[in-house]
């Protein structure tokens, strides 16, 4: 019987896919947005309208919103990588069980395996 995949290869790929989970988590942690002093400075409206945020605050808020959306994407990708790795491991287990069951139920009558 010719097979296009084997359990060992599937488990190897599962490990590589699951490693992507860690890479996504590490990348997420590196995306922090604006921390410390506002890099855009203390910019004010020309007419000093009271009660309105400074344009630099708008920029910081936009960057934080972007960061939050990207964190959500990184989390989703990491979860997907874990699920994919688990599915590959389950498929490898099923292949091994199928091979074991087939080996137990094969009867050779012509003596060709002797």
Q: CA–CA separation, 94 vs 8, rounded Å?
A: 12
Share in percent of the chain as helix, strand, coil (round to 5): 65, 0, 35
The answer to whether residues 27 and 67 touch, using CB atoms and an 8 Å cutoff, is no
pLDDT at 1: 47
Q: CA–CA separation, 74 vs 56, rounded Å?
A: 27
What is the rounded radius of gyration, in angstroms, for the C-alpha atoms of the chain?
A: 28
pLDDT, tens digit (0-9, with 9 covering 90-100), for 26-81: 999 998 877 777 666 666 666 666 666 666 777 888 888 999 999 999 999 999 99
pTM over 0.85: no
pLDDT at 84: 94
Q: How many CB atoms lie within 10 A of CB 92?
A: 20
pLDDT at 19: 93
Residue 17's pLDDT band, with cuts at 50, 70 and 90, is: very high
The answer to whether residues 112 and 23 touch, using CB atoms and an 8 Å cutoff, is no
């Amino acid at each position: 019987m010719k097979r296009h995949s084997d359990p060992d290869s599937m488990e190897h790929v599962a490990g590589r896919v699951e490693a992507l989970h860690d890479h996504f988590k590490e990348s997420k942690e590196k995306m922090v947005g604006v921390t410390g002093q506002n890099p855009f400075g203390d910019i004010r409206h020309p007419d000093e309208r009271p009660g309105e945020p400074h344009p630099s605050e708008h920029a910081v808020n936009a960057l934080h919103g972007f960061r939050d959306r990207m964190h959500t994407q990184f989390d989703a990708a990491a979860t997907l990588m874990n699920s994919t790795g688990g599915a590959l491991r389950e498929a490898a287990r099923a292949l091994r069980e199928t091979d074991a069951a087939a080996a137990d139920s094969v009867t050779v009558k012509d003596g060709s395996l002797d």
